[in-house]
Amino acid sequence: FGVVLHNYFPHFSPSTVQIFNENFSVEQALRNIPTCAAHDRAAQRALLTALKTWALLARKHNLQYWISYGTLIGYVQRGGLLPHDHDVDVSMMEQDTSQLVALASLINSNLTSLDSNIYKLIVHPQWHIVGWFTRSYFRSQGVNFISPNARFIHQKTAVYVDIWPVYNYHPGQSENSTNTSSILSEYDGNYDWKVYARNWTFPLNPCKYSGIQVWCPAQPKELVAAFYGRSAVYKSDTSCVNGTWRSN
């Protein structure tokens, strides 16, 4: 495994977010998000509430993360939540998952400001194993996922923030054959390894996602285009048809 220390990314510091509106109104953000199906508004409210709580938690505990996958598409296309989205995606460097292990213990023991009856942080017991196909489910422990390294769950609404690993080398190649100074890798939409330029992600930039202050990669459009195609930067692949979201 490659090891990258935090000081490799000197631009990241939660303190650089000078204005973080903890009283940000989710209801205000919802005014700018369309609905289609009857349950959309409740789902959107729950997703933004979970993201807001995660962002505050990450800031308080100095966690380096950034929005990714479908959540990043929403940021690029409309500056926030895709109206049909069903979860929130963020990414972290794989080696930082150890911070989540410690934090999960605090949350689940009611040693933070979060109510453990409402929020739960679950870290996959095999997070250190690279590749979803060599991991197992631990359903008796509430681990119903194998690809993300962790999941931040709002237990009353069942919505969650998936926390995905990013590696500073290509897991499919010998580490010694990879120039780890210039690349990052993570799963693509087919759960194959996607390798891309490190400077597309770092330095991280503070950004607003439906009004919530979060961290964004340095070049979000490049990442969306690389993972989903150039058209995903400009238009949605989903539309409302007779009260149902359908893929175009």
Q: What is the rounded average pLDDT of the residues 226-246? A: 96
Question: In the predicted model, what is the mean pLDDT of the chain?
Answer: 89
Query: Phi first, then psi: what are they for 128, rounded to 5°?
Result: -75, -10
Beta strands in the chain (DSSP E): 66-67, 88-93, 119-123, 150-154, 159-166, 183-187, 193-197, 205-209, 212-216, 238-241, 244-247
State mean pLDDT over 63-89: 98
Tell me: the pLDDT tens digits for 176-207? 545 567 999 999 999 999 999 999 999 999 99
pLDDT of 245 strictly over 50: yes
Q: What is residue 227's predicted lDDT score, i.e. its pLDDT?
A: 97
pLDDT at 9: 37
The model's pTM:
0.88
The arrangement of strands across the sheet holding 159-166 comes to 66-67, 88-93, 159-166, 150-154, 119-123
At a CB cut-off of 8 Å and minimum separation 6, what does 103 contact? 57, 61, 63, 112, 121
Structure confidence at residue 24 as a pLDDT band (50, 70, 90): low
Q: Residue 36 pLDDT more than 50?
A: yes
Summarize the confidence of residues 59-86 as an average pLDDT. Answer: 98
Residues 222-227, mean pLDDT to the nearest whole number: 98
- At 8, the pLDDT band (50, 70, 90 cuts) reads very low
Q: What is the mean pLDDT of residues 52-76?
A: 97
Residue 15 has pLDDT above 90, yes or no: no
- Residue ranges per structural domain of the chain: 23-247
- The lowest-confidence range among 69-73, 98-102, 111-115, 137-141 is 111-115
pLDDT of residue 57: 96
CA distance 34 to 41: 8
Mind listing the pLDDT tens digit for each residue in 88-118? 999 999 999 999 999 999 998 888 888 889 9
Question: Which carries the bigger pLDDT value, residue 38 or residue 175?
Answer: 38
pLDDT above 50 for 34: yes
